[in-house]
Amino acid sequence: MARESHRSEKSIMVSLLTIKLILPACASLKDKRSTLQPLISRIRKEFNVSISEIGLQDVWHSAWIGCVLISNDANHNSQVLNNVVQFIESHFHELQISEHHIENH
């Protein structure tokens, strides 16, 4: 007999935060990696989100970072992802956020 998957009445919300960072202190890809790794690790630990560098990997002075959060509440997801942006601005002064976007699906 085939197993049926049962989905709860609540919907699943997937939220994506994309952040473009400017890294003015970096002069090489090695500098960039040593700057981004602590940022990525700390955000992953503090906010329990999936996070990765998603673009501009070969450019040493800029980076695109993506964070994903899944829950049943889009407002909760947006609040957490906005907190990620504020956390970067307040704890990583050597970085500049040039743009960021939050999408809920």
Residues 6+ away with beta carbon under 8 Å from 15: 68, 69, 70, 71, 74, 77, 78, 81, 102, 103, 104, 105
For each of the domains in the chain, give its residue range(s) and CATH number, in order of start.
Answer: 18-104 (3.30.70.1120)
Query: What was the pLDDT predicted at 92?
Result: 94
Residues 6+ away with beta carbon under 8 Å from 44: 50, 51
- Regions in the chain scoring below 50 on pLDDT: none
**Predicted TM-score of the model (pTM):** 0.85
Per-residue pLDDT of 55-66, as tens digits, reads: 999 999 999 999
Query: What was the pLDDT predicted at 76?
Result: 96
Of 72, 74, 78, whose CA–CA distance to 100 is shortest? 78
Average pLDDT, the chain: 92
